[in-house]
């Protein structure tokens, strides 16, 4: 039986794709790169009918690994990507991973910057070969001069990761959350969702122009 979240995602997909060309005409340029901790970046490219100019689409990071990834973004982007068996993941016992019936059916990558490693969960890829080919192809498309960095409160996110993200020197960044955090001083996009969850659900992350944030305006200001 379809879940409420699944039904919302299906409905929003039609809205996202159906108005994509209209949104695209509102953009000043289309060569931007979105770095995202989950599938949101890919959804944004689709919502403007654009090619995916980022390797971080169709996948997700655990929050701690994502902050590590951002701490040396160029180092990891230029680093070595390998793959492990899902059961070898250091995050396999985390509820966000073990509680998802899809775990084990998609590739799990390990990315190294030469000093540390992080894991990437290629949720919407069918094989290691597909994940590697698309990662390497999209790495070449990154526009470092028009970069939007996005984070949210999913996948084990704690106050530590939020504070580290807010302190990072990226010129353009957004943070989506469904709850309030200590030391909020701008840069937070609070989204109401029903039913309530401990973290923001994918179907509630904004795209286009919403009452929470105008993504088109954000992209035009890159």
Question: Where are the chain's structural domains?
Answer: 4-220
pLDDT in tens, 20-40: 999 999 999 999 999 999 999
Cα separation, 150 vs 170, in Å, equals: 10
Cα separation, 181 vs 44, in Å, equals: 26
Nearest to residue 35, comparing CAs of 171, 217, 185?
171
Which H helix or E strand runs over 89?
A: none
Could you give the 3-state DSSP secondary structure of residue 173? Answer: strand
pLDDT in tens, 160-193: 999 999 999 999 999 999 998 887 777 889 999 8
User: Which residues are paired to 35 by β-bridges?
Assistant: 149
Contact criterion met (CB below 8 Å) for 65 and 155 = no
Q: Note the pTM of the prediction, 2 decimals.
A: 0.94
Cβ neighbour number for residue 102 with a 10 Å cutoff: 10
């Amino acid at each position: 039986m379809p879940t409420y979240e699944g039904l919302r995602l299906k409905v929003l997909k039609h809205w996202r794709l159906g108005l994509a060309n209209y949104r695209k005409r509102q953009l000043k340029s289309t060569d931007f790169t979105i770095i995202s901790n989950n599938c949101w970046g890919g959804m944004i490219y689709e919502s403007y009918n654009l090619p995916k100019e980022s390797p971080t689409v169709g996948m997700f990071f655990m929050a701690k690994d994502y902050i590590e990834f951002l701490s040396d973004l160029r180092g990891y982007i230029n680093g070595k990507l390998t793959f492990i068996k899902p059961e070898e993941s250091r995050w396999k016992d985390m509820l966000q991973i073990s509680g998802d019936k899809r775990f084990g059916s998609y590739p799990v990558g390990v990315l190294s910057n030469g000093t540390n490693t992080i894991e990437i969960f290629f949720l919407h890829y069918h094989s290691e070969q597909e994940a590697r080919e698309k990662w390497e192809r999209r790495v070449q498309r990154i526009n470092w001069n028009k970069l939007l960095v996005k984070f949210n409160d999913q996948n084990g996110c704690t106050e530590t990761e939020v504070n580290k993200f807010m302190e990072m020197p990226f010129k353009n960044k957004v943070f989506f959350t469904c709850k309030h955090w200590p030391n909020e001083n701008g840069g937070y996009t609070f989204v109401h969702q029903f039913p309530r969850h401990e973290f923001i659900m994918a179907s509630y992350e904004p795209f286009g122009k919403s009452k929470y944030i105008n993504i088109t305006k954000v992209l035009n200001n890159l």
